[in-house]
């Protein structure tokens, strides 16, 4: 059987060209990251919302579970708050808050910016791979981590961002198509308020033609078919987020997992109402109510802070209607409760089968 090894495997020192996406907010438990890495792919801790000390503890636990490479993912984003229209937004949130038993919304918000301390931890712990969303690692960090031999991967949504990321020193470019679950990685949401939304099939070959470093396809990849397609498009591997949300080790809330399993290719929308940045998730009551109000969400990260208590209270009450249910467009291909290692092995086995026997009717 064909053994699929690509340049990505060499660059990241992994056996299989599969990356489990860093997913901030809880799904990427130590268990999930370690299981994926131990299986031969690259597990990623979604650490953007984590306190620096918690990141350090998680890294040490991952290392107790596996000696293989793993990544830690952060947001390379401007975290300056703009709460100038907070009163208007609170008008919309007030009703939902009272339904969830929450009191008056805060009239002021301050989002903590932990990026410097988070990066310090990643450097001190000498993690094998650092990945970022929303932008490129700032130059001072890029130089330092590369000097230490840490690999850097940058998620992009356009050819222009990919070229910029390569020029800045990224070792790997993750090409995130608009099919992808979670936040759009688009750098400048001033230019593209709803994200640059180019589908995975269109984006990957155009980026592969313009950069020399390995390209990883993200968005709608769920199985061996997606891996083979991505390789045919010029990618060196794939990054999967949604597929791992219903894995046995996933930390996603049970109501969220159920919503994923109940969803179809028609269920998701791209919305800014949860965080202020465009993100793909399953349409629900929160999105509909905010949209119906006609009120413009605050920019990231302020809208995220403004909706934080609602999302937490909804999770505590098992109310998926008010949670952010990030998901990609290929959720019919989800499996329920498989161990992450099985997901990795099945993708590889299916891809290998397909490569040795592509469904071509006539081949002269």
Ligand X SMILES: Cc1cc2nc3c(=O)[nH]c(=O)nc-3n(C[C@H](O)[C@H](O)[C@H](O)COP(=O)(O)O)c2cc1C
Nearer to ligand X, 86 or 173 (CB): 173
Cβ of residue 1: shortest distance to ligand X, in angstroms? 25
Cβ of residue 39: shortest distance to ligand X, in angstroms? 17
Are the beta carbons of 131 and 174 closer than 8 angstroms? yes
Beta bridge partners of 215: 173
Nearer to ligand X, 46 or 224 (CB): 46
Nearer to ligand X, 90 or 153 (CB): 153
Cβ of residue 307: shortest distance to ligand X, in angstroms? 15
Nearer to ligand X, 187 or 326 (CB): 326
Q: Cα(75)–Cα(136) distance, rounded to whole angstroms? A: 9
Q: Which residues contact 112 (CB under 8 A, 6 or more apart)?
A: 79
Are the beta carbons of 242 and 252 closer than 8 angstroms? no
Nearer to ligand X, 68 or 243 (CB): 243
Cβ of residue 350: shortest distance to ligand X, in angstroms? 16
> CA-CA distances (angstroms) from residue 143 to 73, 115, 134, 139?
18, 16, 19, 6
Cβ of residue 98: shortest distance to ligand X, in angstroms? 28
* Helix or strand holding residue 237 (H, E): strand 237-240
Nearer to ligand X, 73 or 158 (CB): 73
Nearer to ligand X, 86 or 327 (CB): 327
Task: Sheet with 172-176: list strands edge to edge.
Answer: 18-20, 237-240, 215-218, 172-176, 151-156, 129-133, 70-75, 43-46
Cβ of residue 279: shortest distance to ligand X, in angstroms? 8
Picking from 46, 101, 55, the residue whose alpha carbon sits closest to that of residue 252 is: 46
Residue nearest to ligand X (CB): 241
Cβ of residue 84: shortest distance to ligand X, in angstroms? 26
Both tokens assigned to 56: 């350090």
Per DSSP bridges, beta strands 18-20 and 182-183 are unpaired
Strands (E), the chain: 18-20, 43-46, 70-75, 129-133, 151-156, 172-176, 182-183, 215-218, 237-240, 268-271, 279-282
- What letter would DSSP give residue 299? P
Nearer to ligand X, 21 or 310 (CB): 21
Cβ of residue 127: shortest distance to ligand X, in angstroms? 15
Cβ of residue 107: shortest distance to ligand X, in angstroms? 29
Nearer to ligand X, 90 or 307 (CB): 307
Using CB under 6 A as the criterion, which residues of the chain lie in contact with ligand X when the complex forms?
21-24, 27, 46, 48, 73, 133, 155, 176, 179-183, 218-221, 239-243, 245, 326-328, 330
Q: How many CA atoms lie within 13 A of 82 on its CB side?
A: 8
Picking from 322, 301, 318, 307, the residue whose alpha carbon sits closest to that of residue 133 is: 301
């Amino acid at each position: 059987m064909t053994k699929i090894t690509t340049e990505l495997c060499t660059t990241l020192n992994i056996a299989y060209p599969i990356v489990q996406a860093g997913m901030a907010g809880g799904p990427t438990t130590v268990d999930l990251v370690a299981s994926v890495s131990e299986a031969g792919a690259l597990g990623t801790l979604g650490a953007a919302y984590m306190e620096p000390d918690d990141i350090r503890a998680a890294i040490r636990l991952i290392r107790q579970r596996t000696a293989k490479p793993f990544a830690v993912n952060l947001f390379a984003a401007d975290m300056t708050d703009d709460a100038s229209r907070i009163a208007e937004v609170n008008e919309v949130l007030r009703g939902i808050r009272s339904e969830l038993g929450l009191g008056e919304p805060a009239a002021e918000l301050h989002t903590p910016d932990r990026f410097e301390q988070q990066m310090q931890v990643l450097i001190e712990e000498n993690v094998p791979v650092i990945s970022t969303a929303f932008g490129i690692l700032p130059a001072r960090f890029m130089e330092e981590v590369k000097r230490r031999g840490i690999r850097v991967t940058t998620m992009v949504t356009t050819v222009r961002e990919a070229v910029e990321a390569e020029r800045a020193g990224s070792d790997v470019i993750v090409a995130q198509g608009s099919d992808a679950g979670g936040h759009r990685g688009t750098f400048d949401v001033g230019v593209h308020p709803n994200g640059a939304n180019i589908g995975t099939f269109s984006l990957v070959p155009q980026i592969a033609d313009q950069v020399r470093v390995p390209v990883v396809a993200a968005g709608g990849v769920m199985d061996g078919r997606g891996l083979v397609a991505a390789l045919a498009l010029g990618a060196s591997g794939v990054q999967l987020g949604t597929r791992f949300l219903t894995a046995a080790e996933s930390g996603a809330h049970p109501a969220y997992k159920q919503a994923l399993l109940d969803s179809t290719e028609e269920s998701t929308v791209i919305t800014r109402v949860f965080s202020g940045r465009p993100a793909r998730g399953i349409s629900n009551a929160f999105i509909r109510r905010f949209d119906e109000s006609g009120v413009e969400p605050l920019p990231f990260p302020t809208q995220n802070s403004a909706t934080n208590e609602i999302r937490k209270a909804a999770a505590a009450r098992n109310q998926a209607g008010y949670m952010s249910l990030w998901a990609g467009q290929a959720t019919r291909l989800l499996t329920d409760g498989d161990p992450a290692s099985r997901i990795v092995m099945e993708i590889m086995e299916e891809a290998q089968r397909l490569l040795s026997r592509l469904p071509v009717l006539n081949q002269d």
